[in-house]
Amino acid sequence: MAMSGLLSLAATAAELKVGMIGLDTSHAVEFTRRLNDTTDDDFIPGARVVVAFQGGSRDIPESRDRVEEYTRTLRTEYGVKIVDSIDALLKESDVVMIESLDGRPHLQEALPVIKARKPLFVDKPLAGSLRDALEIFRLARENGVPIFSGSSLRYYPNLQEMKHTGIGQIKGAVSCGPCALEPHHPDLFWYGIHPTEALYTIMGPGCQTVTCAATPDVHLVTGVWKDGKVGTVCGIHKDEAPFRMTVIGSKKALDEELEGDYTPFLRQVVKFFQTGVAPVPPEETLEIYAFMEAADESKRQGGCPVKIADVMKKNETPSK
């Protein structure tokens, strides 16, 4: 397998040294526990968080109020070295995880990683805008850097099983779940990414148009796929709604509350680091963000249908 300028085969066979950017989310602690604590029931071998850069966003309380606590946990409980720059982090790591809660700095955080040609995992949201998401993937592609981003819901066991249960040809699906809003991000980017990616886990790529109805309590976003499938995200803003999936097939329908944790997803991240191959094609990941951006545009237009192709074209960086 060719990974020119990246990891040697010897390095991928050994325990990879992970550099973590952004310690303002519980994911930083949960992922480090699974990678570093060999006594933990959820321990995942193959990679270890050895160095981290704190990061944090002063204008988002969820980031500002937790970053110091999470930093202390990584340093004292898991032996992670805390450094004061991304450049310092890159000198001591084989691969990088961007965990910053805020999607807005992800492009700037990714730039030095891509320049250093380190395999890169970017936690949700991939970016604070579709334009930045497209730019991150463009730069990674042009520099030959493996990149992966996603939601842990994709690998919840019963969601994966729903695709293989004899329901016949999939005709549509409804993905429901919590969808807290954050004023610095497009509506679905902040937490709606989870039910949206769950929908794409069932439907796959190929959505053409999106319509959005939104109230102070709920987002109802419906996409029409090129083969006639219809998929809907129902995002609940304020209540503790469970994640739930309804799949409509040509033979029968299934409806289940989704159950799982970070462990299956993180196994996929480690495998990605070891192989350089993302488990989800870049085109699908970017379409998910285009779907969410199209929902915002539809809301701005009073619920009119918006084409995925149009929002992609609008947000692509012009060729230099």
Q: Sort strands 81-83 and 47-53 into parallel, antiparallel or unpaired.
A: parallel
Per-residue pLDDT at 319: 56
Q: Which CATH class is domain 9-151+263-279?
A: alpha beta
What tokens appear for 127 in the block?
Answer: 């970016």
Report the run of H or E that residue 298 belongs to, with start and end.
Answer: helix 282-300
Per-residue pLDDT at 281: 96
Between the CA atoms of 299, 305, 310 and 316, what dihedral angle is there, to the nearest 10 degrees? Answer: 30
* Of the candidates 63, 116, 109, 106, the residue with the CA atom closest to the CA atom of residue 86: 109
Per-residue pLDDT at 174: 98
Per-residue pLDDT at 262: 97
CA distance 75 to 82: 7
> CB atoms < 10 A from the CB of 97, how many?
27
When the candidates are 3.30.479.30, 3.30.420.40, 3.30.360.10, 3.40.50.80, the CATH number that belongs to 153-260+289-315 is 3.30.360.10
What are the phi and psi torsion angles at 116 (to 5°)?
-80, -5
CA distance 187 to 300: 11
Instruction: Find how far residue 32's CA is from the centre of its chain.
Output: 17
Please state whether the peptide bond connecting residue 146 to the residue before it is cis, i.e. omega within 30 degrees of 0. no
- Could you tell me the residue ranges of all domains in the chain? 9-151+263-279, 153-260+289-315
What tokens appear for 45 in the block?
Answer: 């071998």
Q: What is the pLDDT along the chain (320 residues), one digit of tens a residue?
A: 334 344 443 444 579 999 999 999 999 999 999 999 999 999 999 999 999 999 988 888 888 889 999 999 999 999 999 999 999 999 999 999 999 999 999 999 999 999 999 999 999 999 999 999 999 999 999 999 999 999 999 999 999 999 877 899 999 999 999 999 999 999 999 999 999 999 999 999 999 999 999 999 999 999 999 999 999 999 999 878 899 999 999 999 999 999 999 999 999 999 999 999 999 999 999 999 999 999 999 999 999 999 999 999 999 976 54
Do the domains at 9-151+263-279 and 153-260+289-315 have one common CATH topology? no
Q: Going by C-beta distance under 8 Å and a sequence separation of 6 or more, which residues neighbour residue 164?
A: none
Per-residue pLDDT at 166: 84
Per-residue pLDDT at 3: 45
CA distance 79 to 116: 25
